[in-house]
């Protein structure tokens, strides 16, 4: 087992912000309830500001998590294994940074190791660490792929993300059931069409599954 030292300059930390107090957060929720047209002092809503504040701590816990540290411990005893490692259908829940509406879907992550591998649960944790932030799906896809590439230094990384955006399905054009698919291919997955096709065949090409 090997402890690796992440390279400097990997942009995985959230930007530092002036953190409000719990009381300020709850007061903001009360304001939004009034803006929606309801009375935050009625019985059914009296405890809602506190519940929402607690929910935000869970929904956006990714700001307090370090994806680089999650990948710090790797394993070298792989008997020379040098083919791709793929984790597919990693369910995630995120929130659109434009409307705070949910983005719910699955991520597929693959990499081709050099001389070490990482525990598969860490791949899912990295997905969650980025998903549990206000996001744009394209950005989240690149963040996951770039972090895996820069920390693990594999021969290649592939990330495909599918997501239903509730800012589109529950408001605006109201088109439920529409999935957005984004991908980032690095190293051999970008340079070798056969490697990319093998990965897409393993995960089940999303464009075919949506038909």
Whether 7 is catalytic is no
Q: Does residue 112 contact residue 83 with C-beta atoms inside 8 Å?
A: yes
Q: Which of 26, 65, 96, 166 is catalytic?
A: 96
Residue 5 catalytic?
Answer: no
Active-site residue identified among 143, 162, 165, 188: 165
R_g of the chain, CA atoms, integer Å: 20
Q: Is residue 144 a contact partner of residue 152, using CB atoms and an 8 Å limit?
A: no
> What token pair was written down for 172?
């605006």
Structure-token pair, residue 209: 């599954």
State the Cα–Cα distance between residues 155 and 146, nearest whole angstrom. 13
Q: Considering the candidates 24, 76, 93, 98, report the single residue annotated as catalytic.
A: 98
- Asked if 167 is an active-site residue, the reply is yes
Backbone angles phi, psi at 186, to 5 degrees: -125, 155
The catalytic residue among 69, 97, 164, 198 is 97
Does 166 count as an annotated binding residue? no
96: annotated binding-site residue?
Answer: yes
Catalytic residue of the set 69, 99, 164, 198? 99
Of 69, 164, 167, 198, which is the active-site residue?
A: 167
Catalytic entry in 26, 65, 137, 162: 137
Binding site residues, as ranges? 96, 99, 167
Active site amino acids: 96-99, 137, 165, 167
Binding site residues for Zn(2+), as ranges? 96, 99, 167
């Amino acid at each position: 087992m090997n402890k690796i030292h992440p390279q400097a300059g990997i942009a995985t930390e959230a930007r530092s912000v002036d953190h409000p107090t719990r009381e300020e957060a709850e007061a903001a929720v009360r304001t939004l309830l009034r803006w929606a047209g309801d009375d935050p002092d009625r019985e059914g809503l009296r405890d809602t500001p506190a519940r929402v504040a607690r929910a935000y701590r869970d929904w956006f816990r990714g700001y307090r998590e370090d994806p680089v540290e999650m990948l710090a411990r790797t394993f070298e005893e792989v008997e020379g294994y040098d083919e791709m490692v793929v984790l597919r259908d990693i369910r995630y829940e995120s929130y659109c940074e434009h409307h705070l509406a949910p983005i719910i879907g699955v991520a597929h992550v693959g990499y081709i190791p050099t001389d070490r591998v990482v525990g598969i649960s860490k791949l899912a944790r990295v997905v969650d660490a980025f998903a549990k932030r206000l996001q744009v799906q394209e950005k989240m896809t690149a963040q996951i792929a770039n972090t895996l590439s820069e920390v693990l230094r594999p021969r290649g990384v592939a990330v495909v993300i599918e997501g239903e955006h509730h800012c589109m399905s529950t408001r605006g054009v109201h088109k439920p059931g529409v999935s957005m698919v984004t991908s980032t291919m690095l190293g051999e997955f970008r340079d070798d069409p056969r490697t990319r096709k093998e990965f897409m065949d393993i995960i089940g090409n999303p464009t075919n599954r949506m038909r």
